[in-house]
Chain A
Amino acid sequence: MAQGPSAEHARLIRKLQTIAVVTAEEQDALAELPMRLRVFAASADLLREDQPSTECCLILEGLACRYKVLGAGQRQILSLHLPGDIPDLMSLHLQTMDHGLASLGRGRAAYIPHGAVRELCDRHPQLAATLWRDTLIDASIGREWLAGVGRRTAHERIAHLICEALVRSRALGLMDEGAFELPMTQAELGDATGLSTVHVNRVLQDLRREELITWRGRSILVLDWERLRLAADFDAGYLHLLRDADTVALLRPRLRTSLAD
């Protein structure tokens, strides 16, 4: 047991530590989960809608999204998933997927058999509670996005998505000198916010002109967090992150207050 978890298992442990305390014993148990690794291209299907599944999909690198396609071929992106997330944890209990899971940029995923996760939950009830908690936070993020498409302006929606991606990336230790990866095209940003590509483009130009953000390739750099947060009407409370010292220290005072709620 001396060598500790693999890099893949460490991703999962790190993610769970952003939302709950994970004991040493639980970390050891997580480190023994069997994983089938897969490299994926950009815009690859990781899971199809209506597909019965026997495994959970853990994102290791890159960005993935849940989505639904309507009869007319229009796509709605429902959530974003970062390294360490298990977007289809629901498939443990619900028989079929009611949406698809696709990659946005290139990356890697690990598939974990349902049986192994169930056994883990049976032996470690506190870990089961942590996974349940993760699905509740997932629902909370869903509500926030719902309020966004229902009530927020285009400007607020895009700024909000960037704030959320930043806070989640930061908690997972995925920031690099104030910048984080967001490998989404403008069309994909539109699918996530219910906006046209033209509209997304205009808002992004506005945000850059106002010196709130800038970007190079797929990397986004936030220039003025406080103003971006205000522009988005963003309050990180709905992410229910643990107040990990690292995360809090990196945040601006206003966000620190809202995280402390």
Chain B
Amino acid sequence: MVSRLTANLQLYGALPADEQKAVDSLVVSTRATAAGEDLVVEGDTASHCRVLLEGQAFRHKTLPDGRRQIMSFHIPGDLCDLQGLFLGMDHNVTMLSAGEIALVPHAKLAEVMETHPRIARALWSTSLVEAAVFREWMVGMGRRSAYARIAHLFCEMVVRMRAAGLAHHNRYSFPITQQHLSDALGLSAVHTNRTLQALRGEGLLSFQGGELVIMDWPGLTAAGEFDAGYLHQAGKAA
């Protein structure tokens, strides 16, 4: 079976067997993480990157007066802090649910990238796509209605989880709470709650036992004015 990290990197182009093996060799250790655990804290300068293997996480920043902005959600296979390879961390990454992470030493990463330029390009691509996601969210907050913003976020999570092989018959693990949604989309808790009720009321989606269930995908993508182009999943198997 292809490892989570390899599967993620292959979204941007297939890797031959020896390079898949090289990606697998990056992981030197794994450990369990608790819900709410901080994986990365602003100001960190680490000697290794963390790859999410199980569970979900979120990237966030707190303004000096305490206002929190969530900037992205992360699923298994995602690199949490590739930025640390070149820059200090200017934000935090926290677990949404209990899970597992893999540790990849920077030195090992540099060595593999030097021998395998294609892996370096795939890693660079993941950081470029992350930037594209920030831009898309900015468009949402600057210009989309609350209704379209929430629907758009659900669409994004679904497309990414599908590509990562994390869908189970239109059911998706979904530890994101209403508070997280509000902090991600710049909405009040009341507004988020009302909008979720509307999406449910229209039969687009529902929540069952911590899972998101997509009931009307075309309806949801229309509600979110969603176009997956910004995720650049060129290498994704159809």
Given contacts A139-B127, A151-B69, contact A66 B135 (CB under 8 A): yes
B108 within 8 A of A: no
Bound form: Cα–Cα A137–B120 in Å? 18
**Are A98 and B232 touching (Cβ within 8 A)?**
yes
Q: Which of A128, A132, A143, A150 contacts B91 (CB 8 A)?
A: A143
B143 interface neighbour in A76, A135, A140, A142, Cβ under 8 Å = A76
Q: Are B143 and A93 in contact (CB under 8 A)?
A: no
Question: In the complex, what residues of A have CB within 8 A of residue B18's CB?
Answer: none
CA distance A17 to B44 in the complex (A): 24
CB < 8 Å: which of B65, B88, B124, B135 contacts A93? B124
* Cα of A152 to Cα of B61 in the assembled complex, Å: 13
Q: Which residues of B contact A95 (CB under 8 A)?
A: 232, 234
Q: Does A44 contact B (CB under 8 A)?
A: no
Q: Which of A62-96 contact B (CB under 8 A)?
A: 66, 68, 70-71, 74-76, 78-79, 90, 93-96
B238 nearest CB across to chain A (Å):
16
CB distance from A108 to the nearest CB of B (A): 25
A146 proximity list for chain B (CB < 8 A):
69, 71, 134, 137-138, 141
How many chain A residues touch the partner (CB < 8 A)? 47
Q: Decide if B117 touches A151 in the complex (CB within 8 Å).
A: no
Interfacial chain B residues near A149, Cβ < 8 Å = 138, 141-142, 186
Cα separation A79 to B69 with both chains bound (whole Å) = 18
Q: How far is the CA of A92 from the CA of B183 in the complex (A)?
A: 33
| B185, CB-defined interface residue at 8 Å | yes
15 A-B contacts (beta carbon < 8 Å): A68-B139, A76-B138, A76-B142, A90-B131, A94-B132, A135-B124, A138-B131, A146-B137, A147-B63, A150-B183, A150-B184, A150-B186, A151-B69, A233-B63, A237-B90
Residues of B within 8 A of A238 (CB): 90
Q: Which residues of B contact A138 (CB under 8 A)?
A: 131
* A38–chain B nearest beta-carbon distance, Å: 25
Q: How far is the CB of B93 from chain A (nearest CB, A)?
A: 12
Count residues of chain B with CB under 8 A from any CB of chain A. Answer: 48
Interface string of B208-238 (1 = CB under 8 A from A): 0000000000000000010001101010000
CB distance B61 to A70 under 8 Å? no
* Neighbour of B135 across the interface among A68, A147, A194, CB < 8 A: A68
Q: Is the CB of B128 within 8 A of A94?
A: yes
Tell whether, in the assembled complex, residue B135 and residue A94 are in contact, meaning their CB atoms are under 8 Å apart: no
If over half of A's interface residues share one DSSP class (helix, strand or loop), that class is named, otherwise mixed; here it is helix
Given that A132-B124, A132-B127 are contacting pairs, would A98 and B135 also be in contact in the complex, using a CB cutoff of 8 Å? Answer: yes
What's the minimum C-beta distance from A167 to chain B, rounded to whole angstroms? 15
- A243: interface (CB < 8 Å): no
Set of chain A residues within 8 Å of B37, measured between Cβ atoms: none
With A233-B63, A233-B65 known as contacts, the answer to whether A142 contacts B141 (CB < 8 A) is no
Does A139 contact B130, Cβ atoms closer than 8 Å?
A: yes
Q: Which residue of B lies closest to A70 (CB)?
A: B143
Residues of B contacting A9 in the complex (Cβ-Cβ under 8 angstroms): none
Known A139-B83, A151-B63, A151-B69; contact A90-B138, beta-carbon cutoff 8 A: no
**B125 lies within 8 A of chain A by Cβ:** yes
Q: Does B191 contact A (CB under 8 A)?
A: no
Instruction: Give Cα distance in the complex from A182 to B114, angstroms.
Output: 41
Lowest 10 CB-CB distances: which A-B pairs, in order? A194-B142, A139-B131, A150-B186, A142-B134, A147-B69, A98-B230, A149-B141, A133-B86, A76-B142, A151-B67
